[in-house]
């Protein structure tokens, strides 16, 4: 609700747990999963009711899928689409799964099943590990429709591979670093200007603390310094995104 009041239009979610509290689908979906899936139902509905599009990565963290059977992989993709595909979504498949890893083929099968069974043909990508279209393991697939970029270089040459790619596809500066995790407020504020000025169709703002909603310093996802969720929610960079949006909406930014 706070982000909506600031003018945000998309909410990102992706499963990051690698041990303990994660959705284990190694044997498919069973009755033991229903409580967690019903909790996800509520969250998908909440995001939609807030008027946001949900950029969602499916099931679990990329490396702990633990499924190789092509029949089961297809069933999982069908299930995810059937359960959540009526919401306004951007499918992002899995965390940092493009250009590819030893388990990449399995995520391709899930993504293709989502696409093949999605009557709405909602946009699908694979969250990128970096920011180079020329080494993408997904861009040639017919079920891939946009680039969810994690750019390491926010300058013109960092985005140029997407301009020069042989197929025209929109790219979004999806993950550009997190305010207060080696990123200052000034750097966070400047990033969307650089992204849009270099042709991006969107930008993802993040702040340290977003994965620590119920966690203490002794029990939390250990990426960067500990930062409380409410402090992250109210960080200065989030409100400064409102100024960026208002400024760009006041002019024909695509002609800059």
**Residue 23: its pLDDT value, please?**
87
Q: Report pLDDT digits (tens) over 227-244.
A: 888 889 999 999 999 999
Reported confidence tier of residue 254, pLDDT bands at 50, 70, 90: confident
**Residue 216: its pLDDT value, please?**
73
Q: Is the pLDDT of residue 251 over 80?
A: yes
Q: Is the pLDDT of residue 16 over 90?
A: no
| C-beta separation of 152 from 127 below 8 A | no
- Rounded to whole angstroms, how far apart are CA atoms 59 and 23? 6
Q: Is the pLDDT of residue 24 over 70?
A: yes
**Residue 130: its pLDDT value, please?**
87
Pairing of strands 202-203, 171-173: parallel
**Residue 11: its pLDDT value, please?**
96
Who has greater pLDDT, 8 or 212? 8
Question: Which H or E run includes 6?
Answer: none
Burial 131-159 (b: 16+ CB within 10 A, else e): bbbeebbbbeeebbbbbbbbbeebeeebb
Q: Report pLDDT digits (tens) over 145-181.
A: 999 999 877 788 888 999 999 989 999 999 998 999 9
Reported confidence tier of residue 75, pLDDT bands at 50, 70, 90: very high
Which residues are within 8 A (CB) of 140 and not within 5 positions of it... i.e. 6 or more apart? 167
Cα–Cα separations (whole angstroms), residue 22 to 17, 19, 37, 79: 6, 7, 11, 17
Q: Report pLDDT digits (tens) over 97-148.
A: 998 766 678 999 999 999 999 999 999 999 999 889 999 999 999 999 999 9
**Which segments of 6-90 does DSSP mark as H helices, in order?**
34-49, 70-84
- Rounded to whole angstroms, how far apart are CA atoms 166 and 156? 18
- Rounded to whole angstroms, how far apart are CA atoms 92 and 83? 16
The three-class DSSP label of residue 199 is coil
- Residue 62 has what DSSP assignment? G
Q: Report pLDDT digits (tens) over 129-140.
A: 988 999 999 999
- Rounded to whole angstroms, how far apart are CA atoms 143 and 145? 6
Who has greater pLDDT, 218 or 175? 175
- Rounded to whole angstroms, how far apart are CA atoms 100 and 111? 14
Q: What percent of the chain has pLDDT over 70?
A: 95
- CB count within 10 Å of CB 252 equals 7
The structural domains of the chain, with segments of one domain joined by +, span 10-134+149-160
**Residue 212: its pLDDT value, please?**
65
Is the pTM value of this prediction over 0.75? yes
What is the average pLDDT score of the chain?
91
Q: Is the pLDDT of residue 193 over 80?
A: yes
Among 151, 154, 128, 134, smallest CA distance to 57 is for 128
Phi and psi for 179 in degrees, rounded to 5? -55, 130
Among 200, 96, 121, 208, smallest CA distance to 154 is for 200
Half-sphere exposure (CA, 13 Å, Cβ side) for 244? 23
């Amino acid at each position: 609700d706070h982000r909506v009041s600031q003018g945000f239009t998309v909410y990102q979610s992706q499963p990051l747990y690698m041990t303990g509290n994660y959705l284990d689908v190694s044997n498919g979906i069973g009755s033991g999963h229903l409580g967690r899936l019903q909790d996800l139902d509520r969250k998908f509905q909440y995001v939609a009711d807030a008027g946001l599009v949900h950029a969602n990565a499916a099931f679990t963290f990329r490396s702990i899928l633990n499924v190789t059977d092509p029949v089961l992989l297809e069933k999982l993709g069908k299930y995810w689409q059937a359960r959540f595909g009526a919401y306004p979504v951007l499918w992002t498949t899995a965390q940092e799964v493009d250009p590819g890893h030893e388990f990449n083929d399995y995520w391709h099968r899930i993504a293709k099943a989502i696409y093949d069974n999605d009557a709405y043909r909602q946009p699908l990508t694979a969250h990128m590990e970096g920011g180079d279209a020329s080494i993408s393991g997904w861009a040639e697939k017919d079920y891939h429709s946009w680039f969810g970029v994690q750019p390491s270089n926010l300058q013109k040459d960092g985005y140029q591979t997407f301009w020069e790619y042989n197929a025209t596809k929109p790219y979004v500066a999806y993950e550009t670093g997190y305010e207060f995790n080696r990123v200052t407020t000034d750097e966070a504020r400047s990033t969307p200007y650089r992204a849009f000025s270099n042709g991006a169709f969107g930008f993802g703002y993040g702040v340290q603390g977003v994965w620590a909603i119920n966690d203490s310093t002794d029990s939390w996802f250990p990426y960067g310094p500990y930062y409380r969720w409410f402090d992250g929610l109210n960080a200065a960079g989030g409100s400064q995104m409102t100024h960026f949006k208002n400024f760009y909406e006041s002019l024909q930014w695509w002609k800059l």
